[in-house]
Amino acid sequence: MRIYFVRDLKDRASRIGKTILVLLIFSTLITIQAEAASRSVVFDVAQSISRLKSGDIRGAAVEINQARLADPDDPLINDMTGALWLIVGSDHRANWYFKAAQAESPKDAIANYGLALHLISEGHFQQALVRLNGIRNGDVATLSIAREYLYYLLGDVNGASDLVLPDAYAAQSDFFNGLSAERRKNWSEVYVQYRKAYWLLGSNPTSEPVGILMTLNPDLPLATGFSQPLPIQTPAARFPSRKDALHGVVSLTPGNLGNDFQYLVFRIDGHPLTILNRPPYQYLWDTTKVANGAHAIEVITYGSNAQVIDRSTRQVYTLNPDAPPAASQLDAESAMVKAELWRLLALKPSRAMLSDRIAQAALKLEDKSQLVSEWLERSIALDPSRHLARKELISDSSGAELALWKGNPSDKEVALTFDDGPKPGITPALLAILHTNGVPATFFVIGRHVVKHPNLVKMMVQDGMEVENHSYSHPDLALLTADGVDQELLKANVAIQAAGAPRPQFFRPPGGDISPMVIREAARWGLTPVFWTVDAEKMEYPPIERLTHYIVDKARDGAIILLHNGRSATVQALPQIIAGLKARGFRFVLLRQLVATIENKTPLTRGIQINR
């Protein structure tokens, strides 16, 4: 770096100290700003990966948008953006970003891997394998998993027999072991290996793992558990023109400098390059010293008293065969972030597919046949379209018009039922009151809340309560398609059973909204709709005396009483409600007990039968 100062020779000696100081300041500033820019990119990408792993897709997109504002052409940023689009099921948008990363860095292993995944999703298996085999310096385990899956798709019967993966990829190892056992028709081993892979994907059986999923379906070889739009704008399909790119050494010259001009500063991507204060005010910039890609050249002119006169910026593109990698790739932290990104992009077995394969294996095993319906339900809960091809699963929907509103009108008994929840703070308080008074109750729980608070469901079961289905996300079921109803009911079933409760026998439609189609779909899965005799919802607010009197006065023999598992007024009123009902001679029963006492009852529940 050359810096000229306008002073006569006798002044120069007296200003040597200040010259050295200026050099040191600018040299330090260049280093600090370069490291800060690199660290900012790496930090934003690391934050995006962290959010993505937790399932916060939109949060991950916000983080990567911040990084893109700083350096939209950074290969690591484009790799991460491509990964985001892949994980929400938009491989064409992902393909654009992987191509952008490759344009900046042709040997970018992650970009080439992403392009190979696009080929797999398009059904070009042989081309994908060629691209994978050409990748150098990529994550060995991630590449091996993709190759093994391609061998399966290409019909290689020996593909997965000798695959050895690190412990971090245990789910994939067990999956490929199950696939190998399936080829040998060792159904006991198939059941064991696939089941191990299933639980290694995570403890929440109501959702697919974050990532790109193997389906074993050649027509749709890759899938994802997410399908939501991202707040990322995909640029028009353009790449910087190579014929206009700068290369080698170029001369930078400012425009009109003005009368009050004293000196100027050239900056590249915000990093100071030089200070010039004597003609010809030119700087020879060696573009081979910077990473290929877009750069911002800025010239700032100063007048007397170091006041800024003018500031102008020009965007350029550099392209050199031996250019250094982007700054973010130079940092050791970047290597760690890339390792995380590789792990995130490693193909995982689909949980829905595994559930389906486990059910098929169980069908062939005498001692596992009773588990078939459970695993098929897990599969359909994640992918309702699968039931169209599952002729093994048949339910008796005769009498599908039946619903339960009350018990036997000649029995002095009532069923307390609580909708919603489980909810921390409220549910334990309700259970404590019920336990103290020796009163059983039925809880209609919301599946997504069960996933968050499975310990509260365990408390219900331990206290002898009945846990039933109130849908997974509390929608108006009557407005959904048949597949949507199936998914709401079965995901809730799966969540409830995973929390340690028996398989639900009843469901209560949110808001009481129902249709003949909803009743028919519920009947397919052995679920009877339950409504109420006494609806106290509008009374579950202070003063609690009003709520107490309403329920005690309205209760009749065989009544089903509707309360809510989420309101403090209900907790406060419950001891008085119990005391008032007991004073009237009522005994408390679970819904299953209430159904058992109905005179001349028709079977209201339908078990799932297996067609063997």
pLDDT of 411 > 50? The answer is: yes
Q: Is the dihedral of CA 144, 344, 70, 57 positive or negative?
A: positive
Rounded to whole angstroms, how far apart are CA atoms 278 and 526?
A: 88
Lowest mean pLDDT, pick from 309-313, 421-425, 437-441, 470-474: 309-313
Question: Can you tell me the mean pLDDT for 305-319?
Answer: 82
Choice among 25-39, 99-113, 130-144, 553-567 with the minimum mean pLDDT? 25-39
With left for phi above 0 and alpha for psi between -120 and 50, is residue 438 left, alpha or beta?
A: left
Q: Residue 263, SS3?
A: strand
pTM: 0.74
pLDDT of 421 higher than 70? yes
Residues of the chain with pLDDT > 90, as a percent, come to 53
Over residues 551-555, the mean pLDDT reads: 96
What is the pLDDT at residue 208? 92
Q: How would residue 470 be classed by pLDDT, with cut points 50, 70 and 90?
A: very high
Q: How many CB atoms lie within 10 A of CB 299?
A: 22
Which residue from 397, 417, 412, 393 is spatially nearest to 603, judged by alpha carbons? 397
Per-residue model confidence (pLDDT) at position 393: 54
4 has pLDDT over 80: no
Q: Is the pLDDT of residue 399 over 50?
A: no
For residue 44, the model assigns a pLDDT of 80
Q: Which of 331, 228, 371, 293 is nearest to 70 (CA)?
A: 293
CB contact at 8 A, 605 and 504: no
Residue range 169-190, pLDDT digits in tens: 999 999 999 999 999 999 999 9
DSSP at 463 = T
Give residue 603's pLDDT: 43
pLDDT score for 517:
93
Average pLDDT in the 423-428 region?
96
pLDDT for 571 beyond 50 = yes
- Annotated catalytic residues are 419, 564
Check pLDDT > 70 for residue 85. Answer: yes
Check pLDDT > 90 for residue 198.
yes
Instruction: Decide if 422 contacts 460 (C-beta within 8 A).
Output: yes
pLDDT value for 342: 95
Mean pLDDT of 319-343: 76
Q: Quote helix, strand, coil % in the chain, to nearest 5.
A: 50, 15, 35
pLDDT at 601: 43
Query: Best-predicted range by mean pLDDT among 288-302, 367-381, 450-464?
Result: 450-464
Q: pLDDT band for position 55 (50/70/90)?
A: confident
Report the alpha-carbon distance of residue 38 to residue 77 in Å, rounded. 11
Q: What is the mean pLDDT of residues 25-49?
A: 55
In this prediction, residue 96 has a pLDDT band, given cuts at 50, 70 and 90, of very high
More confident residue, 157 or 223: 223
Span 484-534, pLDDT tens digits: 999 999 999 999 999 999 999 999 999 999 999 999 999 988 899 999 999
Q: Decide if pLDDT at 35 tops 60.
A: no
Q: Is the pLDDT of residue 299 over 80?
A: yes
Task: Give the pLDDT confidence score for residue 83 in this predicted structure.
Answer: 92
Mean pLDDT (the chain, rounded): 83
Q: Check residue 373 and give its pLDDT.
A: 84
Res 237: pLDDT: 40
Q: What is the DSSP letter of 508?
A: -
pLDDT score at 279: 84
pLDDT for 16: 36
State yes or no: cis peptide before 240, omega within 30 of 0: no
94 in Cβ contact with 85 (< 8 Å): yes
pLDDT band at 331 (very low <50, low <70, confident <90, very high): low
82's tokens: 């491509």
Residue 597, pLDDT score: 75
Phi and psi, residue 314, nearest 5°: -135, 130
**pLDDT(554) > 80:** yes
Inform me whether the pLDDT recorded for 590 exceeds 90: yes
Please determine, for residue 159, whether its predicted confidence score (pLDDT) is greater than 60: no
Q: What is the Rg, in whole angstroms, of the alpha carbon atoms belonging to the chain? A: 33
* Residue range 418-426: mean pLDDT, rounded: 96
Distance CA 184, CA 588 (A): 55
Contacts of 524 (CB under 8 A, 6+ apart): 395, 397, 486
For residues 331 and 524, give the distance between their C-alpha atoms in angstroms, rounded to a whole number: 57
Helix axes 372-382, 351-363, angle to 10 degrees: 160
Residue 561 contacts residue 532 (beta carbons within 8 Å)? yes
pLDDT confidence of 113, banded at 50, 70, 90?
Answer: very high
Would you state the pLDDT for residue 58? 85
pLDDT at 267: 87
Q: How far apart are CA 164 and CA 170, in angstroms?
A: 10
92 C-beta neighbours (distance < 10 Å), count: 11
Structure-model confidence comparison of residues 199 and 41, the more confident one:
199
Q: Which domains does the chain have, with CATH numbers?
A: 14-231+339-349 (1.25.40.10), 246-318 (2.60.40.10), 351-390 (no CATH), 413-610 (3.20.20.370)
